[in-house]
Structure formats: C-alpha cells, structure tokens
Amino acid sequence: MPAWLPHIDSSVVLDSLKSFLLLLSLLIVRTLLVRAIAKNSKLSMEAKRRGVVSVRNTILFVLLVGLVVIWAHELQAFAVSLVALAAALVLATKELLLCWSGAALRVGGKVYSVGDRIQIAGHRGVVLDHDIFATTLLEIGPGQTSHLYTGRVTVFPNSLLFTNALVKENPGQEYGLYTLVIPLRDQDDWQQAERHLLDAANAECSSFMEEASRHMKLLEKTNLLEAPSPEPRIILQLSETGEIQLVLRFPAPDRGRSRIEQAILRRYLTASN
C-alpha cells in the first residue's frame, strides 16, 4: 500500500464488502418479489398492497439483522464506551424507541394490518401502510360516525399504541352490528318515528338477514361467546337537554354498512314526511 494512503484495517474493508453484497442481494430479491406480486392476477389490489408492505418490512428486518451480524466483532470492541452513550441515546431518542416498540407490539399482537379500519387518538381510517416508525391511514369521515373517504391521508407514530386505546372497526368479520342515532324534535311523535325507523331497517336488512344470523352463530361457536341477535333493535335515549333520541342497532356487511345506513335513513325520512 502506498505510504501516502491512510492505513485501513483489512477487516473493515471485508465487512464493508459483505454489507454491500448483502444490500445488493436484498434489493434484487425485493424487486423480484414485488414484481411477482404485482403480476399475480389472482390477488386483489388490497392483497397486493399487503404483500408489498410485508415484503418491504421483511427485507428491512433481514438487512438490519445481517448488518448486526456482519459488524458484531467491530461493535464488540466499542461495547464498554457505548454503555454511557446508549444511556444518553435512550433519553434523547425516547420517542423513536417507543415507535419501534409500538411496531413490535403491532406485529407480535397482530393488532392491525393493511386494509383494517381503525380509530386511535382521534384518527380514523383504513390502514394503507405501516413500518417500524409510523402507520398511514386513508381518512374516513367526517366525524366518528360517517363512513366516507375524505381523500386525506393521516400518518401517526407507532408510539400512540402505548398511550391510547385502539378501536378496530372490522375485526375480520363479514357482518357486524352497527348503530344509527336519530334525534327527534319536541313536536315529533316518537312512537310513530320508532315504527318508521324499525320498518325501514327491516326492509333494508331482510335480504341478508339469514346470512348475518349464520355468521353470528359461527362467531358464537368460534369465540365461545353468546352472540347477539342480528335483528334490528331500537332503544330510546334522553339527551342532556331532554330530547328523545332513537338509537337503531342494525346488521350490515362489513364492506357495505355505509350504503345500508344511508338506505335506512332515506327510507325513514320518506316515511316520516
């Protein structure tokens, strides 16, 4: 080696070469897998998106583990000095570590995946993407009771999983039970309004009631819980101002509850006028 070149440890050069080859190999594998998923006509768009996200996160995990293994002997030499540095880094990167821990909680607990509808810390939407730092949602709204896509994208850090309760709106079910609240005015006949609302719900839900009942029975056997009847039900509530509210519980397909809700509401308003 020429005298004017700085001395470089051969082990560092070898480790750098190994790291480069590992990175190159993983990039090639990722490209081939993503291309194969995209060309698979048997998969739906949601399944393709979920597959691409899984491939990307797996490749990233393998890369991190491989780099740790390759550079392990180099890192060992700095272990003693890194103890004090690690303590400082923990304090400085507390939020980042919580994000990584949140990602581990999501994976280990199977909390949610791509395509699920979730609510957390005021954010509500369909999971588009997730990684070790954050989760991306396609927002649903407006508010917490509507089911329309707003077109906006929400990104929240995974650390929220440790500080906020998460609501999963479609926990892998084909059918679910949902609620619709109808406020009444003082001059309204609540008994007549109750009949109109129940008739509207029965008319709109009759076409899939038998299938919804079978699904509830299956959930009952699977989860060893007494499943509620899917038949539409109405309960009365009084608001703080003394106004009467009709709370309708009705069954609907997981992917069609917004349409069913709107159909019930329109039929009810037509009958009430």
| Among candidate residues 177, 153, 166, 162, the one with its CA nearest the CA of residue 233 | 177
Asked whether residue 5 is domain-assigned, the answer is: no
Beta carbons of 198 and 240 less than 8 angstroms apart: no
In a domain, 85, yes or no: no
Give me the residues of the chain with pLDDT under 70, please: 1-9, 77-80, 82, 143-145, 170-173, 222-225
Q: What is the pLDDT of residues 38-95, one digit of tens each?
A: 888 888 888 888 889 999 999 999 999 998 888 887 777 666 676 777 777 777 788 8
Q: Specify if 146 maps to a domain.
A: yes
CATH number at residue 226: 3.30.70.100
Indicate if 149 and 222 belong to the same structural domain. Answer: no
Residues 180 and 264 in one domain: yes
In a domain, 88, yes or no: no
83, two tokens = 């103890």
Asked whether residue 207 is assigned to any structural domain, the reply reads: yes
Residue 3, in any domain of the structure = no
| Residue 194 sits in the same domain as residue 142 | no
Q: Which domain holds residue 16?
A: 10-77
- pLDDT of 14 reads 87
What's the confidence (pLDDT) of residue 77?
67
Give domain status of residue 139, yes or no. Answer: yes
Together in a domain, 164 and 180: no
Residues 261, 263: Cα–Cα separation, whole Å: 5
Same domain, 55 and 112: no
* Residue 21 covered by a domain: yes
Residue 78: per-residue pLDDT: 66
Q: Is 121 left (phi over 0), alpha (psi -120 to 50) or beta?
A: left
**In a shared domain, residues 20 and 73:** yes
Task: Write down the pLDDT at residue 90.
Answer: 76
By CB atoms closer than 10 A (0-12, 13-18, 19+), residue 120 is buried
Given 172, 198, 226, which residue is the final one in a domain?
Answer: 172
For 252, residues 6+ apart whose C-beta sits below 8 A from its C-beta are: 175, 176, 178, 205, 260, 261
Residue ending a domain, among 140, 172, 204, is: 172
Asked if 177 and 170 touch (Cβ cutoff 8 Å), the reply is no
Tally of structural domains, the chain: 3
Q: Look at residues 141, 172, 203 and tell me which one is the last residue of a structural domain.
A: 172
